[in-house]
A and B are shown apart, each in its own frame.
Chain A
Amino acid sequence: MAARVLVGVKRVIDYAVKIRVKPDNTGVVTDGVKHSMNPFCEIAVEEAVRLKEKKLVKEVVAVSCGPQQVQETIRTALAMGADRGIHVEVSGKDYDSLGPLQVSKILAALAKKEEASLIILGKQAIDDDCNQTGQMTAALLDWPQGTFASEVAVEGDKLKVIREVDGGLETIKINLPAVVTADLRLNTPRYATLPNIMKAKKKKITNVKPGDLGVDLTSRLEVLRVDEPPQRQAGVKVETVEDLVGKLKEAGRI
């Protein structure tokens, strides 16, 4: 039985916002743009809270890395039922270059510090679509991983995880402690209730610096350029099937 669950929650640009690339092509516009919790992280929080409600875990700790604003995201997790939060302070250039490698190092260090026996993350973030943090965290801790989970069940000191893979569904059994990443169909996240939002105010968020965890934030990646996807080109009308085949051959498609 896992005593403490760490759930990573990422603050991302809201899914419904129309993304605009900055004029200098160094990134996307984030100032004044609506942000919310990454949808897969919401699913991760929901799963952790359900495990607690089933009394399979004792404490759910929500973690987010970033500047002051990520506290909003942690508060949303608290309002959904997480017990306390950890804000890992990262800002400025460090935040701009923060990626799965750095976050997984942070999560691994926190897991050891907090003596967590289960980490639940979203399978990927909708801004960078990396789909790496869960896997890297497991590797750093040398823990088993159950990624793309559409179902999680506790069986003694093991976890049964049903994974969504290209071929269908794969069922695995992994030992605890473990890392699980949530896929879309794992659950439907609850709405925070008004009383829980009020209760969340009283829940604690502790601040931690990456240096305190012995983590080096240096990025091995450098973003060279960000561009919008090419505009959709107009199509061409053809008269006959022969024309169509000819055009497709010309375009190197067949």
Chain B
Amino acid sequence: HHWAVGWRLGNRPCDRNVAGLIPRADSLTDEQKEFQKVAFDFAANEMAPHMAEWDQNEIFPVETMRKAAQLGFGGIYVRPEVGGSGLSRLDTSIIFEALSTGCTSTTAYISIHNMCAWMIDTFGSNELREKFCPDLCSMEKFASYCLTEPGSGSDAASLLTSAKLQGDHYVLNGSKAFISGGGDTDVYVVMCRTGGKGPKGISCVVVEKGTPGLSFGKKEKKVGWNSQPTRAVIFEDCAVPVTNRLGSEGQGFNIAMKGLNGGRINIASCSLGAAHASVLLARDHISVRKQFGETLSNSQFLQFKLAEMATRLVASRLLVRQAALALQEDRPDAVSLCSMAKLFATDECFSICNQALQMHGGYGYLKDYAVQQFVRDIRVHQILEGTNEVMRMIIARDLLTES
């Protein structure tokens, strides 16, 4: 029984939110509190007990993710008429933050899957939406987001994968790198060049696994995010129906960036969850570990450090939630805020997790202790979905354009 199991595990992150511990700065609606509760319960019961095993054995936890999808986590901000839950970006952030306390790597993949489902729901024709979204929302099928190439990471608009129109098909040639889920997923949302150079020549098409000409590179060996496979995705004269295109020709880059605005909030939310769990782990460790005749929690240095960690976590959370609000309200500052939230939260939370590891002393370095997995898993959040350097580019451009 889930609560009885949690009783034995004794360390559910949601239970430590009594006043005085980590102030959650909540002004959540009743529904949001319910969403959060379900997500925390699911994380504690279905994910946390397996997170180490999934990491060490590189298991892509399909059944667990499908269980999550049954609760509505497969298409959180996808419209209900195609199987989604129709919730807001803020609801989504709250949910991913809570899920991430159970397994950050798996939650991050679920967020990428959600981003792809949203892109199809928002920019796909009704036929495409009806064909793909229900299966994606139930996680009968899994999705991958394909933008990055060996030659174009931060400089995403210089991508080379070509899509030549031949009759009623685009023929794709090229390769994508570092694709989360690549090789195991079923539906690939691919940004490719249908026109001239630069962003305006890029379109977005949906490619299904099994399409002739679609193949995959070897599974990458990573420092973290091991519960999701990462592979190159290779297109060799891969023919895709024109009707699989999202939006119009030349709109692809725009669609990709719109997807990433939400993706950045989601990834930042995953970082928040990891940091939250890590602060609790550190707190518990220093309350128990004794040196020099007393518990580490009597050390003013560690007390101050813990206070700083909690403060920065709450500050990060507030920025991420504000960005989510701005995005769902379609405010003009939304893109900047999403970039700021991603930049700030992923940096701060990595630092928090890292300090939590330090507070564990030598034990923090052992894989028997969860804190090292949170550190390894969120390190990449400062890199993908736009490096934190690119986030600075976006924010600076916005600031300098106004002046």
Contacts and interface: CB of A to CB of B under 8 A. Distances in A.
Given A191-B42, A194-B38, A197-B34, A34 B18 contact: yes
A17 B70 contact: no
B203 to A, nearest CB: 32
A198 B38 contact: no
A152 B229 CA distance: 45
Given A16-B7, A195-B72, A195-B80, A188 B1 contact: yes
Interface residues on B, range: 20 to 34
A33 B87 contact: no
Contact of B31 (A33, A34, A197): A197
User: Among the interface residues B17, B34, B73, B86, which one has the most CB atoms of the partner chain A within 10 A?
Assistant: B34
Contacts of A198: 31, 85-87
Contacts of A42: 3
B35 to A, nearest CB: 6
Nearest to B91: A194
Interface in A1-56: 14-17, 32-34, 36, 39, 42-43
Given A16-B10, A201-B31, A39 B72 contact: no
Nearest to A16: B15
B76 A15 contact: no
A17 to B, nearest CB: 6
Contacts of A127: none
B41 interface: yes
A201 B86 CA distance: 15
Interface residues on A, range: 20 to 34
B6 interface: yes
Contacts of A191: 38, 41-42, 71
A42 B70 CA distance: 19
Contacts of B87: 194, 198
A188 B2 contact: yes
A32 B19 contact: yes
A75 interface: yes
B18 A17 contact: yes
Contacts of B12: 16
Given A16-B7, A34-B15, A34-B18, A192 B34 contact: yes
Nearest to B72: A194
B2 A189 contact: yes
Contacts of B2: 188-189
A194 B18 contact: no
Interface in A162-185: 184
A34 B17 contact: yes
Given A33-B18, A34-B17, A193-B72, A15 B3 contact: yes
Nearest to A187: B1
B209 interface: no
Nearest to B20: A32
Contacts of A200: 34
B330 interface: no
B402 interface: no
Given A16-B15, A33-B18, A195-B72, A75 B34 contact: yes
B30 A194 contact: no
B96 to A, nearest CB: 13
A76 B34 contact: yes
Contact of A194 (B10, B19, B71): B71
A155 interface: no
Given A34-B17, A194-B85, A194-B87, A39 B3 contact: yes
Interface in B1-37: 1-4, 6-7, 10, 12, 14-15, 17-20, 30-31, 33-35, 37
A149 to B, nearest CB: 15
A200 B34 CA distance: 10
Contacts of B73: 194
Contacts of B33: 72
Contacts of B1: 39, 43, 184, 188-189
A15 B72 CA distance: 26
B345 to A, nearest CB: 24
A75 B37 CA distance: 12
A79 interface: yes
A44 to B, nearest CB: 13
A14 B16 CA distance: 11
B163 to A, nearest CB: 36
Contacts of A33: 18
Report, nearest first, the 9 A-B pairs whose CB atoms are least far apart: A194-B72, A16-B15, A32-B19, A194-B85, A197-B34, A193-B71, A39-B3, A193-B72, A191-B38
Interface of A: 14-17, 32-34, 36, 39, 42-43, 72, 75-76, 79, 184, 188-189, 191-195, 197-198, 200-201
Given A193-B38, A197-B31, A201-B31, 11 more contacts: A15-B6, A32-B20, A39-B1, A75-B34, A76-B37, A79-B34, A184-B1, A191-B38, A194-B85, A197-B34, A198-B87
